[in-house]
Structure 1
């Protein structure tokens, strides 16, 4: 990996009204500081960091090869929390779709020749209800 693309929207936490408790914990997250640290670490090992805005990335389809533009934006394809449906019915995690679309803003031909490789291969683990309860914090 030689380039790290980070989506950032100016003022994204301004005038947030999620309720008193949520605002207290969410709005204070130092996102700008977090990005600075990522940039510092990445650049120290020779990686280039590109910041880009995220408009229209969550309502356009990476699977369909759509550009993340206003004319292609259709939020109704986000069928429920965490799931995005492409025009042909294929489904993809909504955050993964958004992340690919953020990359497409910087690299319009991203994935034109397929995916070269992946850094992680997450395993799917099914937990029983009793196993889930043992992880709960008191």
Structure 2
């Protein structure tokens, strides 16, 4: 067996032998010292997650970008369809070596996507000296959602929770504060109109957003402006914590929410 050439043997703390899909994997574990950077806690990036737009990111500095999701959704759907085909007319619980191979291939692609997306977001924060990341998240949301058979298949098995965990690990390493925020009503309220943002289960009587989602991916404000719906949701996450964290939101504008930069992980 040939070991990797970049191992630092003096730093290795642990060896792990892991059985997975019919083979054994050997992992070398070593401590990686943190690398704090000069960051500004008043500079904040908010993240709204989804499927086609895997991560939509808006900062209070006036820039925005989207980590594209269709590639991840595509190989996830292909894996699910192939597993369903191979298990057709087979006994319940059927598994085979071929199924193990395609499962391992899918899992490697998913890990690669998670690492690429998390690193892109963190590098963007380091480039702009952003000291905090706000991540919209509701506990148990993937298990409790009912979006129809096709959408549930996409949403539940795309590893957004693993992506969130990986991003949190990188934030800890570089000294970025990672904050989870209840994302209730963030996609319904209009950020540019300053709509009230109640917490989950606390919606006041007769609460109505001033804007509306006119079609998939497009939100219309009370003034008739059309903005990206997911960017609007991310901006609302910033608004949810602005008073608590003492943030300046002058950088949020119609232009920031209209045309975010789209990042395609395998072509950048």
- Tell me the TM-score normalized by structure 1: 0.70
Q: Could you tell me which of 234, 237, 240 is aligned with 1:99?
A: 234
Q: Could you tell me which of 164, 189, 201 is aligned with 1:60?
A: 189
Q: Work out whether residues 189 and 197 of structure 2, in 8 Å CA contact, stay in contact via their aligned partners in 1.
A: yes
Q: CA deviation at 1:32?
A: 2.3
Question: What runs of 5+ residues in structure 2 fail to find an aligned partner?
Answer: 1-129, 263-268
Question: In structure 1, what is the equivalent of residue 74 of structure 2?
Answer: none
Aligned length: 118
TM-align CA RMSD: 2.7
Question: In structure 1, what is the equivalent of residue 148 of structure 2?
Answer: 18
Q: CA deviation at 1:60?
A: 0.8
> SS at 1:107's partner residue?
helix
Are 2:161 and 1:32 aligned? yes
Superposed counterparts of 1:71-82, under 5 Å: 71=204, 72-74=207-209, 77-82=212-217
Q: Deviations over 1:4-36 (max 9, x none)?
A: 0000111112243522x6544432223322211
1:26 and 1:42 map into 2 onto residues whose CA distance is: 25
1:96 and 1:29 map into 2 onto residues whose CA distance is: 20
1:110 and 1:84 map into 2 onto residues whose CA distance is: 24
- Tell me the TM-score normalized by structure 2: 0.39
State which structure, 1 or 2, has the greater radius of gyration over its C-alpha atoms.
2
> SS at 1:59's partner residue?
coil
Q: Deviations over 1:66-112 (max 9, x none)?
A: 23233444386111111111111122111010000012112247554
